[in-house]
Structure 1
Amino acid sequence: MLMPHPAVLRRLVNEYEVLSAAVAASEQADPSTRLHDLAYTLCVSTGTRDVERALEVAHQWLATAPAPVREITPSTVIERRMATPEPA
C-alpha cells in the first residue's frame, strides 16, 4: 500500500481536527463541504472507511515518521552561498 508523505498527512490531520472542532463549537447541523473532503481524503490516504479510524492510523504513522525537515527558502540558499568561501 502506498503511504502519503508525512508532511501531507500531518497537514490533512491538522486541518481536519481544527475544522472539526470549529464545527462542533458552532454546533452546525451540516458540516462544511471541506470537512467532508478532508474526511474522504484521510480515509483514502490511510486505506480506511471511517474517519475516526483514519485519524487513528494517521496518528500512528505520524508517530513513527521521521521528524519534519526544515524547508529551504530562497533566503537560506542565498545565505549559504554568501557564507561559502570562493576558491583561490
Structure 2
Amino acid sequence: MLRAHPSLLRELVERSERLRRRLASGGGAEVRRQLEDVTYTLCVITGTRQLDTALYVARQQLADGMRRERPLRR
C-alpha cells in the first residue's frame, strides 16, 4: 500500500484543523470550499470517505512513522 509522505500528511491534518476552527467561528464560503478541498485530498490519500476517518488514519500513519524511525547513531 502506498503512503503519503509524513510532511504532507502533517500539513493536511493541520490545515484541516485550522479550517474547521475558522468555519466554526463564522468562516464563509471560501473557508468551506478550502475545507472541502483538504477533506477530498485527505480522503484520497488515506483511502477513506469521511474527514474524521481520514484524520484518524492520517494520525495513525504519522504515529507509525514516528515509531519506525530509528535514532541516529553516535
Give your verdict on TM over 0.5.
Answer: yes
Counterpart residue type for residue 64 of structure 1: D
Inter-partner Cα distance in structure 1 for 2:36 and 2:56: 17
Aligned-residue Cα RMSD (Å) equals 1.7
Inter-partner Cα distance in structure 1 for 2:51 and 2:19: 14
Q: Which residue of 2 aligns with 1:44?
A: 44
Q: Which runs of 5+ in 2 are unaligned?
A: 68-74
Q: Which residue of 2 aligns with 1:15?
A: 15
CA deviation string 1:21-65 (max 9, x = no partner): 11012165x552111000000000000011110001011111121
Higher helix content, 1 or 2: 2
Give the structure-2-normalised TM-score.
0.79
| Sequence identity (%) | 44
Larger gyration radius, structure 1 or structure 2: 1
Q: Which residue of 2 aligns with 1:65?
A: 65
Q: Which runs of 5+ in 1 are unaligned?
A: 68-88
Q: Report the secondary structure of 2:7's partner residue.
A: helix
